[in-house]
């Protein structure tokens, strides 16, 4: 996915970029976009995977399948970012709510930008979400900029 390039007078300097990744979908586009932006701005990237723990389990419950999947996704993300000459820092967070965990991590890192790829949802009603609850949470609660890239509908 090619990043849209703003005019030189509109460019914003990013020092720290957070890119949330998911266990169950293809996160390559988000990592590529974040890495391209980071390479241009000489910024750092932190990839965040949130393992959502069901309310009936303790936060430290064994989630071996999810942890193994997270490691695999993060290794692939490291390889993609290395192709852009950018080093990627990886974080796996256990939480009850994905959006809250991502915003908290971005705040802790003093991130300038969160880059997320999210397909558009089919709108069912007037108050239906365009991207989903996690992206909606990020857009409402993040203290930094949020770049949402929506892949073309198929």
Q: Where are the beta strands (DSSP E) in the chain?
A: 16-21, 44-52, 88-95, 113-117, 145-149
Cβ 93 vs Cβ 51: under 8 Å: yes
- What is the pLDDT, as a whole number, of residue 127? 57
Token digits of residue 123: 């709108």
pLDDT band at 120, cuts 50/70/90?
confident
What confidence tier does 78 reach under pLDDT thresholds 50, 70, 90?
A: very high
Report pLDDT for 132: 84
| Residue 125, pLDDT score | 59
Q: What is the pLDDT of residues 1-52, one digit of tens each?
A: 455 555 555 566 789 999 999 987 667 899 999 999 999 999 999 999 999 9
Express each pLDDT in 122-136 by its tens digit.
Answer: 665 565 567 788 999
Structural domains of the chain, ranges and CATH numbers in brackets:
13-149 (3.40.50.620)
In sign, the C-alpha dihedral spanning 57, 61, 65, 66 is: positive
């Amino acid at each position: 996915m090619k990043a849209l390039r703003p005019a030189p007078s509109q460019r914003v300097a990013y020092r720290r970029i957070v890119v949330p990744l998911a266990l169950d979908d293809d996160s390559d586009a988000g990592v590529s976009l974040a890495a391209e932006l980071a390479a241009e701005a000489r910024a750092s990237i932190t990839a965040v995977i949130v393992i959502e723990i069901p309310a009936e389990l303790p936060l430290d419950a064994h989630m071996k399948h999810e942890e193994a999947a997270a490691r695999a996704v993060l290794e692939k993300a490291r390889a993609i970012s290395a192709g852009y000459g950018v080093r990627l820092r990886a974080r796996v967070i256990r939480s009850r709510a994905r959006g809250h965990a991502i915003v908290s991590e971005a705040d802790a890192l003093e991130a300038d930008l969160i880059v997320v790829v999210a397909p558009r949802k089919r709108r069912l009603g007037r108050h239906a979400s365009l991207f989903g609850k996690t992206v909606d949470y990020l857009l409402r609660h993040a203290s930094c900029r949020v770049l949402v890239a929506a892949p073309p509908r198929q």
